Every structure is written in structure tokens, then in C-alpha cells.
Structure 1
Amino acid sequence: MRPKEVLQQFVEAFNRTDVEKLVSLYHEEAINHQVAEETVQGHDAIRKMFVESFANASMTCIVENMFEDGEWAIMEWRDPQGLRGCGFFHVIDSKITFQRGYWDKLTFLRQQGLPIPRE
């Protein structure tokens, strides 16, 4: 699959909260770095991240733009409440090997009614 096709499957699985399908799209030792969170690596850590995220928040990805450049798929997204972000996905042999996402954690926490960490 081309990187954009992998990303389209990612969005579909994300919106279904299908953790196992999401994990299957990643290389076994993939790195997922959401800049507002700690970096996670490998299927077990990525699975745990998605399970915990879906348990704590209601999330929907609405694609605004999706691009492909060589081994990379890039997406600008929003959610129904107006949170916006973007993600970069490095795809090799139809598997995500590296992902980096940018979004506003404070806005996300407020929208979801989640506690805001104190320093």
C-alpha cells in the first residue's frame, strides 16, 4: 500500500476506535511521538497508548488535507469540537515506522473535561 492508503486505513480504524487494526498498521518497532506526550515505541506501547486514549476521551478525526510525498503521508485534521492538528507518517513496506503528531494538549484536555496537570 502507498503511504496515503495506509493513512486512510488509519483514519477509518481510529474513528471506529479499532485498536487492533491501528496497531496492525505499524511496524513492530514503530515510534509514535505525539509532541504533547511521551514518545512510545513498539506494538505493546502503541496499543496501550490507544487503549488509554480511547478510554479517556471521545475522539474523531475529520481529515482536512491529506498529502503523500515519497514514503511520507501527511494529514491536517480537526475534530468535531474544533481542535486542529497535523500528523506525519513515515511508511515503509505498507507499515508506519514513525509517526509525529502536533496538537494543542491544553485545548484537548479542556474540551474533554479532563484534569489539567499542575506543574
Structure 2
Amino acid sequence: MRTAKKTVELWVQRFNDADVDGIAALYANDATNHQVTQEPVVGRDNIRRMFEIEFAATKMVCIVEAIHDAGDVAALEWSDPIGLRGCGFFTVVDGFITFQRGYWDKLSFLRLNGLPIE
């Protein structure tokens, strides 16, 4: 069985590869991904579509600063090459992400990536 930390390490690899199908496969069918800058996204298929849209919009890179393992929960501290920083919390059950919450500054993300500000 994959630990929470190993699941997050695999998530980072697939995120950095912009592997939509691979990253979606890490989520439970009824998982929730809640980036605090957005409404929660519920369900593996909806999470897959979210990543598909985001990876098409801009190149994103996750540089691991630290992964803190706390049993079924892992906390990811990350940065990226353009200066953004954030953290994510992943609950993993039976090797699948059941809940993810991410904290990062959306305005900085949009500005640093040259994307339209909503």
C-alpha cells in the first residue's frame, strides 16, 4: 500500500509532467480537491478536467521544499521557479487521495504567469 508521503511524491512527479490521466488516477472516485482560491472540485472526473484546463493554461512546476508525513495525511511545502510558494494537505486512504486542500496566492499566480486577472 502506498503511503501518504509516497502518494504525494508521485503526485508531484505527475504534476510536473502535466500528466492529466496519471494525476487523476491518484484520486479516489469521490475525492475533493479544494484549492482555497476556488470552489471545491468533487469527483475524480471533475478533478481530471480541472487539471486538464490548468495544464493547458500555463506551465506549472512544483519544487518540493518539504513533505511532512503524518500517517494518512501528508503536508507538502512547495515553490516554483517564478517565485510562487504554497502548501498543500493531502489525506490518503488505501493509496488514493480522498481530500486535498491547497493554499497559495491566486493574484500572484495570475500576474507571474501573465494570465488575465479575474
Tell whether the structures are fold-level matches, with TM greater than 0.5.
yes
How many Å apart are 1:58 and its aligned residue?
A: 1.1
1:56 aligns with 57
In the aligned structure 1, how far is the partner of 2:109 from the partner of 2:51?
16
How many Å apart are 1:60 and its aligned residue?
A: 0.2
1:24 aligns with 25
1:46 aligns with 47
Length-normalised TM-score, structure 2: 0.98
The letter of the residue matching 2:28 is: H
- Residue segments in structure 1 that go unaligned for 5+ positions in a row: none
Deviating beyond 3 angstroms after TM superposition, the runs of 4 or more aligned structure 1 residues are none
How many Å apart are 1:17 and its aligned residue?
A: 0.4
Q: Identity, % of aligned pairs?
A: 53
The letter of the residue matching 2:37 is: A
- Residue segments in structure 2 that go unaligned for 5+ positions in a row: none
RMSD, aligned CA: 0.5
In the aligned structure 2, how far is the partner of 1:58 from the partner of 1:16?
10
1:72 aligns with 73
The letter of the residue matching 2:103 is: Y
Length-normalised TM-score, structure 1: 0.97
Is structure 2 residue 3 aligned with structure 1 residue 2?
A: yes
